[in-house]
Amino acid sequence: LYVEQPLGQGQAVALTADQAHYLFAVMRLAVGAVVALFNGRDGEWRAEVAEAGKRGGVLVCQAQTRPLLMPPDLWLLFAPIKKARTDFIVEKAVEMGARRILPVQTRHTNSERIRQDRLQAHAVEAAEQCGGTFVPEVAELAALDRLLAGWPADRRILWCDESLMGAAQLLSGGLAGEPRGPWAILIGPEGGFSDQEKARLRAMPQVLAVSLGPRILRADTAAVAALALWQASLGD
């Protein structure tokens, strides 16, 4: 169960009404039952139900069962698409071990707004589901131009672009000699990147242009493929 509070030896964690409903009405747990807790910062803790009520309850942490497992220093930048596919990208990015997820507004991005709180909740659910002890931050939608203007000198960008098919190196074979981190993957919108964006990316020394193969992938497929290929070459 994901909670916001700090976790530590003997730490009492008060439950919200929703959490109490889930544990005591849906899962039918009672006082004395054991629950695994994580908050994305302190690893996983075994906690015992000390109080169980209809609208709340208290768990007490007994012992850490797993340390915090930080994923490698990889960010995923992507232009949001339709809601369900954006949700899919966030879920898969968490499962594939991205450390930060940054929705970006590009020239051809269809979606002007995202519900950052909803996407963050998806990230929590995905971490719960895949047994992760870390929850990546989903950032607010930010303009790609602005992000690139303040881009850290040491963070490499894997720029995935279908117009590079044939011309650029294939991501599958190209990363063996590259430094292990920090990195970011950049996936564009359904309309691809504009000429101006491409020129800007080409001019940045941090950018490595890569192809994901000879077919045009949907943005959600491209995100998962790029994450998997990066993990295979540089992940841990």
Query: Is residue 211 within the footprint of ligand SAM (CB under 6 A)?
Result: yes
- 184 within 8 A of 76, measured Cβ to Cβ: yes
Query: Is residue 170 within the footprint of ligand SAM (CB under 6 A)?
Result: no
Q: Which is nearer to ligand SAM, 13 or 160 (CB)?
A: 160
Q: Which is nearer to ligand SAM, 112 or 117 (CB)?
A: 112
- 178 within 8 A of 234, measured Cβ to Cβ: yes
Query: Is residue 209 within the footprint of ligand SAM (CB under 6 A)?
Result: no
Min dist. Cβ of residue 211 to ligand SAM (A): 4
Q: How many angstroms separate the CA atoms of 232 and 234, rounded?
A: 6
Interior/surface letters 59-94, b for 16+ CB within 10 angstroms, e for the rest: bebeebeeeeeebbebbbbbbbbeeebbbbbbbbbb
Residue 174 token pair = 């190209």
Query: Is residue 213 within the footprint of ligand SAM (CB under 6 A)?
Result: yes
Min dist. Cβ of residue 209 to ligand SAM (A): 9
Q: Quick one: which of 98, 172, 108 has its CA closest to 139?
A: 98
Cβ contacts of 116 within 8 Å, gap of 6 or more: 103, 138, 139, 140, 141
Q: Which stretch binds ligand SAM (CB under 6 A): 58-66, 94-102, 161-169, 175-183?
A: 161-169
Q: Which stretch binds ligand SAM (CB under 6 A): 96-104, 146-154, 174-182, 213-221?
A: 213-221
Min dist. Cβ of residue 216 to ligand SAM (A): 5
Q: Which is nearer to ligand SAM, 86 or 211 (CB)?
A: 211
Query: Is residue 192 within the footprint of ligand SAM (CB under 6 A)?
Result: yes
Query: Is residue 165 within the footprint of ligand SAM (CB under 6 A)?
Result: yes
The residue type found at 137 is E
- 171 within 8 A of 212, measured Cβ to Cβ: yes
The residue type found at 200 is R
Q: Which stretch binds ligand SAM (CB under 6 A): 51-59, 85-93, 144-152, 154-162?
A: 154-162
Query: Is residue 220 within the footprint of ligand SAM (CB under 6 A)?
Result: no
- Residues near ligand SAM, by CB under 6 A: 160-162, 165, 187-188, 190-193, 211-213, 215-219, 222
